[in-house]
Amino acid sequence: MILPRSSTRGERGSATVSIALAVTLALFLVAIVGLWIQAIVLQVQAQRAADLGALAAADAHRGLTGHAPCAIAGQLVSHNGAELTSCQLGDRSATVTVQLWWLRAVSRAGDVALLRQSQ
């Protein structure tokens, strides 16, 4: 028995709508994952800049280089795309705080024995 054409006409194009919704949802999920990955990359970049700045400041503070500790830290931090927001010098250590976009990273470097005592 053949069904009359009028009963199937109401469903024409429903697969197109379903596929369009599925593609839109997939693109939305890809965009969310991309933003999440970008935030991770930026956090790693901020932490790298803080680590390099703290190491350079600690070395300069100990007299291993001829540069001013916070000045050299600021140069390295800005060279790595971040902004130096704080540079604090301790006995034989340095603590550097940087900001990259909305992310903040803190790093501390210096004499290992001294850093262990302060924890």
> Exposure string (b/e) for 80-95, b if CB count within 10 Å is 16 or more?
bebebeebebeebbbb
pLDDT at residue 105 in the model: 97
- Binned average pLDDT, 10 residues per bin, the chain of 119 residues: 58 83 96 96 96 95 90 95 95 92 94 65
Residues 2, 5: Cα–Cα separation, whole Å: 9
Rounded Cα gap, residues 10 and 37, in angstroms: 43
> Which pLDDT value is given to residue 111?
77
pLDDT score recorded for residue 29: 97
pLDDT value for 117: 66
